[in-house]
Structure 1
Amino acid sequence: MTLRVLALTCTLKPSPAKSSSDLIARQLLDLFAERGATGELVRVVDHDVRPGVEADMGDGDAWPGIRRKIADADILLIATPTWVGHMSSVAQRVLERLDAELSETDDEGRPAMFGKVAVAAVVGNEDGAHKIIADLFQALNDVGFTVPAQGATYWNGEAMQGGDYQDLDETPEAVASTNATLVRNAVHLATVLGEHRYPAQ
């Protein structure tokens, strides 16, 4: 089976502006492709995702289309910058909209996101990546996603200095190694869950 990966980049910068979150997400999608998975990237800020906790917030809401892409994917990647020590407001809105999935079930009564894998990438020139990853994974696990071992990657710039991930001449070895582990473990877990579904009861 060919695994499908959806990357939601939660930068605050609309296209075509360059984005460190977008860059690390694309790097991960390239690694997924090397393992035979097909990938798609959606920059959430380019779409009119309305505030709320329903699956569809009415006419003009772009979330239902993104939601369909999530439903079709085996692996969800959320990539976010760090702002004042927290995930971006765009990433927070994604989590709020995913809250609607708590009431959605498959034809055997399992939550709709059971069997899907979630991974995360965080970039920023300030501290906060560990807390952001913890918050993301808690929310995604509550909704029904499964998190692989070492399923997150991040880059923090030097404290009290400027600079972005996209400004680096090359990917630091520690980040490249972590990226590879994330992808390897996510593909393994998604394959296992595809072959062995969670029990309905």
Structure 2
Amino acid sequence: MTLNKKQIEDCESSRWDFSDLKAVFLNCTLKPTPELSHTDGLVAISREIMQRNGISVQVLRPVDHDIAFGVYPDMTKHGWENDDWPQIFKQVIEANILVLTTPIWLGEKSSICTQVIERLYANSSDLNDQGQYAYYGRVGGCLITGNEDGAKHCAMNILYSLQHLGYVIPPQADAAWVGEAGPGPSYLDPGSGGPQNDFTNRNTSFMTWNLMHLARMIKDAGEIPAHGNQRSKWDAGCKPDFPNPDYR
């Protein structure tokens, strides 16, 4: 069973209706499907909490897709032969909740995670129906696994990036598991203690519920009020034909 007793009790005692919400997890593992992803083990907890509360959840591994490098929405218009990002972005923009997840390598988030953030940035100059930046009204969080230090450093980077693009970050919007310093077991390895770790389970639960609650509050409020934050009514900023800096 993925959830522990307390996590199940919280789901069963919930009085909130989240059934009209959607969530997307982008698991930025370096391992293509069907290889075992330790990060996916932590994703499973958050995903099940959401699904038990009626949220429609999709989990994608960007490494499974042919994603071009760059900071434009469709890189096939900029010299690349293939680019699956536009299809992934469609799922992201339709979701109320986005969770970026990554392993730790050399104290940093994965290269795939960096690429995903760059491609999210590529669409950040798009505007919604109210003239706000595209990601307004959505909430974001992150999950991190590894057997080395760097979880908080990775979380700071990811959460800063998401809020800069327009996502709302709730309190306690990150959770992580790391083993002992030095070579050792990863999250799903036998004897790692990862799935049973109370600190990680608590923080994963808090992150998930806070994402759900804030997404519910924003949707019920009719999104973020469009006053004082409309790019369509602000003359300063990037030139219309240069929405993002040169990516050379």
Which TM bucket (shorter chain)?
over 0.9
Whole-Å separation in 2 of the counterparts to 1:42 and 1:22: 10
Give structure 2 stretches of 5+ with no counterpart.
1-18, 228-248
Match status 1:178 vs 2:203: yes
Counterparts of 2:69 and 2:39, CA distance in 1 = 22
Q: Deviations over 1:66-107 (max 9, x none)?
A: 000001111001110000000000000001001122210112
Return the match for 1:15 from 9, 25, 33: 33
Question: Which has the larger Rg?
Answer: 2
**Normalized per residue, which structure has more helix?**
1
Letter of the structure 1 residue corresponding to residue 196 of structure 2: T
**Map 1:68-79 → 2, pairs under 5 A:** 68-79=90-101
CA distance in 2 between counterparts of 1:107 and 1:77 reads 24
**Runs of 4+, deviation exceeding 6 Å:** none
Looking at structure 2, the residues matched to 128 and 86 of structure 1 have their Cα atoms a distance apart, in angstroms, of 6
Distance 2:88 2:196 in 1: 30
Q: 17-26 or 112-121: which moved more? A: 17-26
Query: Residues 25-44 of structure 1 correspond to what in structure 2 (within 5 A)?
Result: 25-44=43-62
2:224 corresponds to 1:195:
no
Counterpart contact for 1:141–1:147, Cα < 8 Å? yes
- The higher-RCO structure (CA 8 Å, 6+ apart) is 1
Identity %: 33
Q: Is the 8 A contact 1:103 1:111 kept in 2?
A: yes
Given candidates 113, 116, 119, the residue that maps to 2:138 is: 116
Using the size of structure 1 for normalisation, the TM-score is: 0.96
The offset of 1:10, in angstroms, is: 0.3
Q: Secondary structure at 2:188's aligned position in 1?
A: helix
Structure 1 segment 43-82 matched on structure 2, within 5 A: 43-58=61-76, 59-82=81-104
CA contact (8 A) 1:11 1:21 kept: yes
Contact 1:85-1:127 within 8 A present in 2 as well: yes
Deviation (angstroms), 1:20: 0.8
Q: Which runs of 5+ in 1 are unaligned?
A: none
Find the counterpart in structure 2 of residue 86 from structure 1: 108
Aligned pair count? Answer: 201
Answer with 23-32 or 140-149: which moved more.
Answer: 23-32
* RMSD, aligned CA: 1.1
TM-score calculated relative to the size of structure 2: 0.79
Secondary structure of the equivalent of 1:95? helix
Contact 1:4 1:37 survives alignment (8 Å): yes
